[in-house]
C-alpha cells in the first residue's frame, strides 16, 4: 500500500509577495492562462498595486509549492 495516501497535504492560502512573482508566472504559463507580462501583470505593475494598498492578491501553496492564485 502506498504510504502517500495517509499523508495530509499542507495547504496554505496567503497574501502574495513579490518574491512569488516568478513562481506565479510559471504557474500561469504551465496552466496556459493568458496574462499581460508587459501590462497589468508585469512585476512593476503588481508591486505598484501592492504598495497602493487597494489590491489583495492571494496565492495557494500545497506542501510549499505555489499551485493557485486569486
Q: What is the distance between the alpha carbons of residues 18 and 33, in angstroms, rounded to a whole number? A: 19
Q: What is the distance between the alpha carbons of residues 36 and 52, in angstroms, rounded to a whole number? A: 20
The confidence score (pLDDT) of residue 5 equals: 67
The confidence score (pLDDT) of residue 31 equals: 95
The confidence score (pLDDT) of residue 53 equals: 87
In the chain, what's the furthest Cα-to-Cα distance?
51
Beta bridge partner(s), residue 15: 58
Buried b (16+ CB within 10 A) or exposed e, 12-28: eeeebeeebeeebeebe
The confidence score (pLDDT) of residue 6 equals: 73
Give the tens place of pLDDT for each residue, 4-58. 667 889 999 999 999 999 999 999 999 999 999 999 999 999 999 999 988 899 9
Domain ranges of the chain: 9-69
pTM of the model: 0.81
List the CATH code of the domain at 9-69. 3.40.630.30
Q: What is the distance between the alpha carbons of residues 63 and 66, in angstroms, rounded to a whole number? A: 9
Amino acid at each position: 500500500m502506498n504510504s502517500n495516501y495517509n499523508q495530509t497535504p499542507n495547504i496554505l492560502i496567503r497574501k502574495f509577495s513579490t518574491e512569488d512573482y516568478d513562481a506565479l508566472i510559471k504557474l500561469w504559463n504551465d496552466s496556459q492562462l493568458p496574462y499581460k507580462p508587459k501590462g497589468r501583470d508585469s512585476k512593476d505593475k503588481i508591486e505598484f498595486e501592492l504598495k497602493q494598498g487597494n489590491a489583495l492578491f492571494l496565492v495557494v501553496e500545497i506542501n510549499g509549492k505555489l499551485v493557485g492564485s486569486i
